[in-house]
A and B are shown apart, each in its own frame.
Chain A
Amino acid sequence: MTALPAAATDPAAAAREVPAGRRPGWWGMVLALVTDVAAFAALLAAYFYIRFVTAGDNWPPGDIAEPKLLKAWIMTALLLASSAPLVFADHGIKNGRRGRMLAGVGVTVLLGVAFLVVQGLEYREKLTVEFTPQTNAYGSLFFAITGFHGLHVIVGVLALLVILVAGLAGRITHRHHAIVRITGLYWHTVGAVWVFIFGSLYLAAQL
């Protein structure tokens, strides 16, 4: 009998495949995100309903110009880039490297804040020269959707700051780091949702 390759069958490799239960907190966050994503889906559905069922051809309505893309591209790049250092931080603390975790979380916070700053500039421009939420239904939808998302980024930045402080105080160790993993889950989801918002409110509005 020829020997079978051992790598796949040794006990350690097999044990890796046994589904190990996640912590209740992890499941809790997954479900919270499911319902949250459903809320964004409802918001975007409302947007497309108004655009395609109610408004007809002229979109954005009235004499509002198509949304400019430069700032939005920057925001997208910032938010997508911000996920990588968080993954780095998560891996770091799993191996007990506190410095890596602090650095990773710190960079993510900076990128998140940068996103919010650009969003603030974008809002100022829109509100002063283009349209406000009170202009028409398009304005209402634009600010409700991006505002709701911005709120999520703010919450995420606050949560990451808590991790930063707790990490500095030595309260996050290689045995107790669920908070990093769970907050990461939240942050990545908020980033992914932004891609859909960017695609719907900015890119698709050019069509």
Chain B
Amino acid sequence: MTTVEERRAADEAVEERLAPAWEESGGIRGWFTTVDHKKIGRRYMVTAAFFFVAAGLEAMVMRTQLAGARLDVVSPELYNQLFTLHGTTMIFFFSTPMLFGFGNYLMPLMIGARDMAFPRLNAFGYWVFAAAGLLMTGSLLFGAAPNGGWFAYVPLNEEQYLPGVGMDVYCLGLLLLGISTTGGAINFIVTALTMRAPGMSLNRVPLFVWAVVVQSFMIVFALPPLNVANLFLFLDRRYGFHFFDPSEGGDPILWQHLFWLFGHPDVYIIVLPALGIVSAIVPTFSRRPLAAYPLVVLATVTTGVISFGVWVHHMFATGLPQLSLSFFSAASLIVTVPSGIQVFSWLITIMLGRLVVRTPMLWVLGFLVVFVAGGVTGVMFAVVPFDQQTTDSYFVVAHFHYVLFGGAVFPIIAGIYYWFGKFTGRMLSERLGRWSFWVVFAGFNVTFFPMHVLGLLGMPRRVYTYEPELGWAGWNLVETIGAYVLLVGLSLILYDIVRALRRGPAAPDNPWGGETLEWATTSPPKEYNFPVVPTVHSLHPMWDEKSLASMARDRDDDERTLTDGKQALRTSDLDGVPEHPVALPRESVLPLVVALGLAAPTFALVLGAPLVAAVSALLLPAGLFVWHWPRAARQEAEAARSRDAAPAGADA
């Protein structure tokens, strides 16, 4: 047995040599210059949580307004801004960035790497995301928030029907965010492809990493249509182009195609990594490896591919040809198969294992119930006549909250409870965790289940109020009460986090006995994550003696400790054979500067100052120039010169 003490001793032996190369500035300066994937990952999570709170409070105002018939809490104009901003924020600025935060923090740890492949791109992505979110959420304070619904249908969202800057904020904010998301996705793929620990062939890659990689590939293909759509809409609105204007040869349906070509895959862009979190948690608390790992990998990949062929199910009511409706209806029904495979894999793992229900697992069980319920109503929509009856009603609102709240928020909270010790070095409270779970679970269902009923009774979505004669007030009141219960449950979690950060018990390295490599690091991990790069011998390195032993044994092996500067190990793409060390960049303000070169022009364009935009955009080429200026040849020459100056043989 390799004891923890042995590994600790091995770690300490190399830490002194690693620390100087990996240290970053602290304080304010470090705040602007860090390129450490863990700090960036944490930032992503905290910022996304902030947007969740903002969008959640917007929802509370909506629910308050809808508590009874003909209430007058907010004006119709403000209500439009509230639901648009709530939807846009939850989809774009909470779900994906939150899961990017998990991915950023965990992917390098899970694959035994020391950082991402492009640490500066990573920092850049965070700044751009933060700027875009600030623009979007900040606009509400000026009463200038987007107000045409989160999918911004034309012609409603053309300038002549929705004047004002609200929808310009939407187009430009999403374009800005798109750059950040695309950069992040590329970074994930390249990291997973080139930086895995020796021995981690593709069939030993943890499922969470697979999920993030598939998510990233989907982003690479799905974001371009969205960006093109937003560019078109912006040009239409601001510069009098006619892409979507039927009177000048344009076509409103084009917007719908472009948007949903992105929009449906986006559901899986959000949900897949969340399912990856579930696949990470279930084996730990079932005390056995996940059943049918290869099938789950295949299902993940298949989901990603098929979801590009079903976008028209969002357009069943637009009068498309019958044949295309049938095709997309069938395709939509087929997507349920790979999702089903994943669900059965978790269930079988739980059945065959020895279930231990701790808080993270409790949230996963809650997820299973809610997500399956959302899936069932999803199948109903794939059937064209049903969809045509219920589209744009509260039934739809109920459905996508079961899918998105159930499929993303439950796993995210499970993930927070599971990895909080790793992220912060402190443990959350088991007791508060259980309380908050039951309150949230109850609140969630009381809020959203009645929406199915109201939808079938005919209540349309996106209405700021309704007439008393319609008889909808009772159910609406129940929903609003549920929303407040939900708020209490979520606040309990926030309280638990604040409490734990201040005086929670210290977290052990591997509090739950997990199987993947992040648990081999200290809690929280050192800057370089792994003093000795592990060699992986199975899918469950922490449950397998040989992999564990490698981290103590290789402490004297320079090719595994890489103490010659800030270095990571490049391994081969498919089977993880070590190739050569790669140098990683040190901390830098460049990412922030280049991000400003994008964000400043965007803000200027929103405010209608194209000249300021053009001038501030010059930061972009300037920053990129410094960023890419080739330095390696010069550095190598200098290193060689100082070697020659040193006594012969000292450093061969």
Contacts and interface: CB of A to CB of B under 8 A. Distances in A.
B570 A21 contact: yes
Contacts of B261: 42
B633 A171 contact: yes
A36 B227 CA distance: 11
Contacts of A171: 629-631, 633-634
Nearest to A46: B254
B241 A134 contact: yes
A31 B118 CA distance: 13
Interface residues of A, number: 46
B250 A137 contact: yes
Contact of B249 (A46, A54, A159): A54
Contacts, number: 142
A74 interface: no
A88 interface: no
A38 B243 contact: no
Contact of B632 (A24, A135, A144, A176): A176
A24 B117 contact: yes
A65 to B, nearest CB: 16
A39 interface: yes
A95 interface: no
Interface string B240-259: 11110110111101100110
Contacts of A41: 224
Q: Is the interface of A mostly helix, strand, loop or mixed?
A: helix
Interface residues of B, number: 56
Contacts of A69: none
A193 interface: no
B487 to A, nearest CB: 39
B617 to A, nearest CB: 12
A15 B532 CA distance: 29
Contacts of B571: 21
Given A133-B235, A144-B232, A24 B118 contact: yes
A-B residue pairs, 9 tightest by C-beta: A39-B224, A137-B250, A137-B249, A140-B241, A38-B224, A176-B633, A54-B251, A24-B117, A136-B248
Given A35-B186, A140-B232, 11 more contacts: A28-B117, A34-B221, A50-B249, A50-B254, A54-B250, A54-B251, A144-B235, A171-B631, A172-B633, A175-B633, A176-B633
11 contacts: A21-B194, A24-B194, A35-B221, A36-B224, A42-B258, A42-B261, A50-B250, A144-B243, A170-B633, A171-B633, A173-B633
Interface of B: 117-118, 121, 182, 185-187, 189-190, 193-195, 220-221, 223-225, 227-228, 231-232, 235-236, 239-243, 245-246, 248-251, 253-254, 257-258, 261, 570-574, 579, 582, 621, 625, 628-634, 636
